[in-house]
């Protein structure tokens, strides 16, 4: 964690589209509400469209501090959310991801598309390489990630991923218990310097 003087920060990765299942938006609302209810800080991609906007709006409504990071090239596509506590506009995607990671105490992926997948796997690979020890959660809302979880189990079974690597990803289907576990795991971690990446 950066400092004991600021709130626990949860970096949330999720879709800039809402998806076809109402359960995805409900999960995003629950996560945003829980962040505010707990007095935490939301760190996310800075957009107001899709599930990104849903989680941010819910966090704002619940009184959370909200930090968005968005590259200039995506401002027009994702429609930067101007009601955030902080909205950082950066030049590149790498700067975006690094700034989000540096401001986070834990990471959580909600349903999303290829951007969400990439962000999740990147912080997971950073974790197993020792660049950080921040916990990583996957919210399997309405079984969205069932096929991915089966694939990961296959990768482990076929010897291309270890059980220790697999165990670094905490999977849950309900927001509150998963957030409890991420906070508990983060409290056992130590500060890292992600500038080494």
Q: What is the CATH number of the domain that holds 65?
A: 3.40.50.450
Task: Classify residue 4: in a domain, yes or no.
Answer: no
Task: Classify residue 34: in a domain, yes or no.
Answer: yes
Confidence (pLDDT) at 74: 84
- Give the residue from 141, 128, 104 showing the smallest Cα distance to 26: 141
Average model confidence (pLDDT) for the chain? 93
Task: Classify residue 6: in a domain, yes or no.
Answer: no
* Domain boundaries, position 77: 16-187
Confidence (pLDDT) at 3: 46
Q: How many C-alpha atoms does 146 have within 13 Å on its Cβ side?
A: 4
The SS3 call for residue 95 is helix
> What share of the chain has pLDDT > 90, as a percent?
88
Task: Classify residue 10: in a domain, yes or no.
Answer: no
Task: Classify residue 8: in a domain, yes or no.
Answer: no
Task: Classify residue 193: in a domain, yes or no.
Answer: no
Task: Classify residue 7: in a domain, yes or no.
Answer: no
DSSP assignments along 149-192, one per residue: HHHHHHHHHTTSS-HHHHTTEEEESSHHHHHHHHHHHHHT----
Work out the average pLDDT over 12-23: 97
Beta bridge partners of 47: 80
Task: Classify residue 29: in a domain, yes or no.
Answer: yes
- Give the residue from 121, 174, 184 showing the smallest Cα distance to 148: 121
183 contacts: CB under 8 Å, gap ≥ 6:
8, 38, 106
The SS3 call for residue 64 is coil
pTM above 0.85, yes or no: yes
Work out the average pLDDT over 118-138: 96
Cβ contact 96:69 at 8 Å: yes
Total count of domains within the chain:
1
Query: In the structure, what pLDDT confidence band is assigned to residue 78 with cuts at 50, 70 and 90?
Result: low
Q: How many residues does the chain have?
A: 197
């Amino acid at each position: 964690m950066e400092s004991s003087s600021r709130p626990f920060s949860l970096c949330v990765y999720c879709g800039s589209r809402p998806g076809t299942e109402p359960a995805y938006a409900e999960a995003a609302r629950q996560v945003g509400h829980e962040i505010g209810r707990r007095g935490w800080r939301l760190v996310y991609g800075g957009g107001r469209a899709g599930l990104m906007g849903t989680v941010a709006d819910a966090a704002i409504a619940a009184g959370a501090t909200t930090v968005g990071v968005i590259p200039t090239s995506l401002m027009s596509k994702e429609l930067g959310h101007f009601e955030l506590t902080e909205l950082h506009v950066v030049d590149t995607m790498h700067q975006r991801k690094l700034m989000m990671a540096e401001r986070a105490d834990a990471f959580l992926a909600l349903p999303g598309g290829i951007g969400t997948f990439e962000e999740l796997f990147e912080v997971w690979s950073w974790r197993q390489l020792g660049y950080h020890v921040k916990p990583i959660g996957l919210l399997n809302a309405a079984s969205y990630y069932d096929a991915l979880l089966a694939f990961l189990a296959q990768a482990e079974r076929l010897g291309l991923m270890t059980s220790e690597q697999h165990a670094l990803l905490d999977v849950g289907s309900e927001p509150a218990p998963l957030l409890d576990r991420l906070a508990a795991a983060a409290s056992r971690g130590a500060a890292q310097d992600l500038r080494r990446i």
